[in-house]
A and B are shown apart, each in its own frame.
Chain A
Amino acid sequence: MSNYQLDYLEQLEAESIHIFREVAGQFEKPALLFSGGKDSITLVHLAMKAFAPAQFPFPLVHIDTGHNFPEALNFRDALARKIKATLIVREVEDTIQQRNLTEPKGKFPSRNWLQTYTLLDTIEEFQFDCCIGGARRDEEKARAKERIFSVRDEFGQWDPKLQRPELWNCFNGKIHKGENVRVFPISNWTELDIWNYIRKEKIELPSIYFAHDRDVIANDGQLVAVSHFIKPSASDTVVTKKVRYRTVGDMTCTAAVESNASTLDEVINEIIATRISERGETRIDDRVTEAAMEDRKKNGYF
């Protein structure tokens, strides 16, 4: 590589930093949606680089489903403290109470759908005009056409027909009052890019990304952690396995992977070796229908 050439991770980083600075330049009240997972941790790292030595000019917002891994929540709080970021947490539980929502039922009750309500309430409460998210286009087919600046109407809804063409590095974040823009700075990163970047930049992650012993039940080939959020049936047997997580979502809808990988290098090697994509391996609710994500997006989900 010549002296004046960036490698692919540096190019991706450059693009993301450019996007972060456009957010700061174009919006009055942005927020970074922080889940405690590796993608949003990477976002925070990029945000710190984009505005260094100043503090990044937006709070971290966590929409807490109440079904999170305790490790992820502890990590979230420790990170916010360490980098002196403002952390806003809003609970889906509260929305359920206030709005009299019906909890999903079943063995693995997912609150993914309900998050949308809390998110929209939070946007309204703080008058956020931009929410930065860690979605990637390689995650899922419906995401492949998502814009980097994705305009949502007052109901948080996404309409494929209303999306603006994105040319060169020129981002149009102009909106009417009440509308808001979801911005995805790591749109062009793949799962492996994220992992390689985490290794290169020595970014810290919650412990559940590495192999550890956990009580799980096997459900249709997927390992689900035993927690008080799920309702195992009589026929389920609880086993202790050495597992790690590839994504960190709700305990009810994120499956673990059997693994001995306890270091970043080992995790990356395993990921390169697996031929199962991140979503298929770890999201329980996605397998229901192929268009599941699409429907959720239209309804204001991240």
Chain B
Amino acid sequence: MDLLRFITAGSVDDGKSTLIGRLLYDSKNILVDQLEALERSTKNKDNGEVDLALLTDGLRAEREQGITIDVAYRYFSTLKRKFIIADAPGHVQYTRNMITGASHAGLIIILIDARQGVVEQTRRHSIIASLLKIPHVVVAVNKMDLVDYCKDVYHKIVEEYKLVAAQLNLDNVAYIPISALKGDNIVEKSAHITWYEGVSLLNYLEEVKIENDINLKDARFQVQMVIRPQTNALHDYRGYAGTVLSGIYRVGDKVTVLPSGAQSTISKIETGGQEAVKVFAPQPAVIHLADNIDISRGDTIALSSSLPAIATEANVLLCWMDEKPLQQGNKYLLQHQSKRVRAVIKQVHFKIDVNTLAQQQVDEAIKLNEVAAASIKTAVPLVYDAYEKLKQNGNAILIDETSNSTVAAVLFR
């Protein structure tokens, strides 16, 4: 059984909460007492129907305001897969939450209200999916019950979305007509939507091929810590602990340690305390090298056959996540996996309109929820890949040293 993480996106009231509630409910992942709590809070309603959206609703403050304002994670599983849902709210302001949720996602469900078709937010969510290179997209055309399950309405929306997908180079797009409220095509195929030949949403989530989504060609490993027990029995033990970000490492492989450039050979690999002949992404590992090299936390061990970029200057996309705006010339800490370095934003080149992808001239600071292309300079060299090519080694965050907040998501270009 494997694991699929996905995110749901849609405008407010497109039915995200209802859909997640429905997936949990129909796949029998809601437990009796949670259901009872749900029924208790639904009692005051007129129609007496269980409000599935309440299942996914979290903090009290938000409950009172009637909106979700943060990313919440939900869990369910079927016999085929375990699923982790990032439930990112659709509120106009919250690009930040969606990017956070999307950074973990192997798939995105984009909800479209059948009565409205592709709207500005659909475009925005799709642009974020393409910027963050989410490997699979499902366009779920919801509220089909409100358009009499009409085939033409659905097809018109599909055609409309295909233009968006083509413009954004989104591959692996699937389309499913659903009614989250009535349960059509969620777990079981709908009896109302006879003209639709594909599978139900849950079935699609269970079957979509995800094993090729990890890059196994370009091997990257960043050292989180050096393990040196320094006991009598393990006097000379020195292993580099980290997570394989991408690729495969085998005993005997020739590696380059970066940024120093020192070369060596893998002499031993351990994972979970056991020796292994190979490890692959995303396994944790302890790697031993044949030569004595000075290596510390944040250094990269790459297979010599394909090396990442090493530079103190980089072009990046910044997704701004803080109330305090970004100003050109500001200094931050950049954290790339486990490596933290000082960085300065040398120049902001242009803003990207997340609704149209158009490049806009920058005439003021970059604000919360805005995306900008910039060049940065770091105090010591960074070892990275372009996000497009290898996202596991192509992402970072910016930290404001005065508040310690995470202020931006960084994608290397």
Contacts and interface: CB of A to CB of B under 8 A. Distances in A.
A8 B3 contact: yes
A142 B227 CA distance: 37
Interface in A5-22: 5-8, 10-15, 17-18, 21-22
Contacts of B28: 275
A172 interface: yes
Interface string A252-268: 00000000000000000
Interface string A171-192: 0101110000000000110101
A199 interface: no
A142 to B, nearest CB: 6
Contacts of A290: 37, 41
B283 interface: yes
B282 A167 contact: no
Contact of A141 (B58, B399, B405): B58
Q: Label chain B's interface by main secondary structure.
A: mixed
Name the residue among A24, A48, A141 with the largest chain B CB count within 10 angstroms: A141
Interface stretch (A31-39, A75-83, A98-106, A158-166): A158-166
B242 A21 contact: yes
B397 to A, nearest CB: 5
Contacts of B100: 165-167
Interface residues of A, number: 62
A279 B234 CA distance: 44
B82 interface: yes
A11 B1 CA distance: 11
B33 A280 contact: yes
Contacts of A288: none
B406 A172 contact: yes
Interface stretch (B135-143, B330-338, B352-360): B330-338
A181 B22 CA distance: 35
B272 interface: yes
B73 interface: yes
Given A51-B227, A174-B399, A169 B337 contact: yes
A168 to B, nearest CB: 5
Contact of B59 (A54, A137, A142, A187): A142
B2 A145 contact: no
B241 interface: yes
A26 B3 CA distance: 28
A276 B224 CA distance: 40
Contacts of A126: none
Contacts of B99: 165, 167
Contact of A172 (B77, B216, B273, B404): B404
B197 interface: no
Given A193-B82, A275-B31, A21 B3 contact: no
Given A167-B99, A168-B104, A174-B333, 9 more contacts: A11-B3, A14-B243, A14-B282, A14-B283, A17-B284, A50-B241, A52-B273, A163-B70, A165-B97
A280 B32 contact: yes
Name the residue among B2, B96, B243, B284 with the largest chain A CB count within 10 angstroms: B284
A210 B74 CA distance: 28
A215 interface: no
B3 A12 contact: yes
B37 A190 contact: no
Closest 9 CB pairs of A and B: A280-B33, A52-B273, A277-B31, A54-B229, A8-B3, A21-B224, A144-B72, A17-B284, A165-B100
Interface in B198-237: 211, 214, 216, 224-225, 227-229, 234, 237
A4 B228 CA distance: 29
A167 B227 contact: no
B273 A53 contact: yes
A167 B59 contact: no
A234 interface: no
17 contacts: A1-B2, A4-B214, A5-B2, A5-B211, A7-B3, A11-B2, A17-B272, A49-B273, A50-B241, A52-B270, A53-B237, A54-B227, A137-B75, A145-B73, A167-B99, A174-B404, A192-B77
B82 A276 contact: no
Interface in B366-403: 392, 395-397, 399
B325 to A, nearest CB: 16
A13 B248 CA distance: 18
